[in-house]
Amino acid sequence: MYPLNDNIYSDKPDAEPTRAGFGCGLKSAGQADEKVVGLCADLVESVKMDGFANEFPSRYIEVGIAEQNLVTVAAGLARAGKIPFAASYAAFSPGRNWEQIKTTACLNDLPVKIIGGHSGSTVGPDGATHQMFEDIALMRVLPNMVVICPGDSIEADKATRAMARDGRPNYLRIAREKTPIFSIADSPFEIGKAYVLREGGDVTILSTGIETPYALRAADVLARDGVQAEVVHVPTVKPLDTTTIVDSVKKTGRAVTCEDAQAAGGFGGAVAELLCDEIPVPLLRIGVQDRYGESGEPLEVHQKLGLADDAIAARVKEFVASRPQYHAGF
């Protein structure tokens, strides 16, 4: 069974931003391989690239507020044999430079690592212009691109180090605010793998990114109400671990997706496409529903969007009560 943090179900779970895990992972990757280089668009401290920049100043490039240049320079470095990590806010990368990502990194299948910082709802006071909900949809449609949404800071560290060893274009989605830590140092992570965190027979909750700890806590609430939810963490949105997802959904006969992003075209869309092909179970997609964000305290915005554990539990309970389980042959 997947080893979980003992405090995940407590009133005060351990918490840290996923961007902190990225910073630790990048520094470790730099220590392990001198080909790793860092590039940033004037946000080195915000995206936690400063530790790498301070330790390896000759391997760090500050491009300024020029996100299109950020990616094209990174692609050139990759062509020259480097392993470039190019970081900015997700609102600007891939939000502003998607065409450069497509034509310089993905079309040439270069190992450029795009880091989308301050993604999702927890940017808080920066408001709708900086709350990037569309990045998963934008990135998963690009041929050759791998899309990774770590669930907590520990996994973000592991994912960053794994990306440095991966020879493909990668996108890493990280967040600003502290969110609960559900994994531990011994918890597994492999690009392309999903993990059953909690077993159940009534419904499968498939979650990605920072929604996973909230999905786990929602499952704990549901259990007290007699609903046994299986929680599957899917840190790699592309390529999906189709076997783990389909096997779980075949067992439970219902599926719910959770993401701190637009449900249309994002992780929920990817799962819907898969299940349409494999097993037509009832599906509920929890995420941002065709709207923009707004200014507010980070976790208040997250809660208002219906992404906190209590809201997830309420929607899943209603879904289970109203939709029968599907099993092949019935």
Alpha helix stretches (DSSP H) within 46-189: 50-55, 67-79, 98-100, 135-140, 153-165
Burial zone of 227 (CB within 10 Å; 0-12 exposed, 13-18 middle, 19+ buried): buried
The pTM of this model reads 0.97
Close Cβ partners of 279 (under 8 Å, ≥ 6 residues apart): 246, 249, 250, 326, 328
- Answer yes or no: same fold for 16-180 and 195-321: yes
Tell me how far apart the alpha carbons of residues 316 and 222 are, in angstroms, rounded to a whole number.
8
Say what the pLDDT of residue 329 is. Answer: 67
For the chain, domain boundaries = 16-180, 195-321
Task: Name the 3-class secondary structure at 40.
Answer: strand
Domain range 195-321, CATH class: alpha beta
pLDDT digits (tens, 9 = 90+) for 185-235: 999 999 999 999 999 999 999 999 999 999 999 999 999 999 999 999 999
Alpha helix stretches (DSSP H) within the chain: 18-32, 50-55, 67-79, 98-100, 135-140, 153-165, 211-224, 242-252, 267-278, 298-304, 309-322
Burial zone of 94 (CB within 10 Å; 0-12 exposed, 13-18 middle, 19+ buried): buried
Say what the pLDDT of residue 244 is. Answer: 98
In CATH terms, the superfamily for domain 16-180 is Thiamin diphosphate (ThDP)-binding fold, Pyr/PP domains (3.40.50.970)
Close Cβ partners of 101 (under 8 Å, ≥ 6 residues apart): 71, 93, 94, 112, 114, 139, 142, 145, 169
Say what the pLDDT of residue 327 is. Answer: 79
Question: Mean pLDDT of residues grouped by 10 in the chain (330 residues)?
Answer: 96 97 98 98 96 98 97 98 98 98 98 97 90 97 98 98 98 97 98 98 98 98 97 98 98 98 96 96 97 92 95 98 85
Taking alpha carbons only, the member of 37, 83, 2, 21 closest to residue 210 is: 21
Say what the pLDDT of residue 328 is. Answer: 72
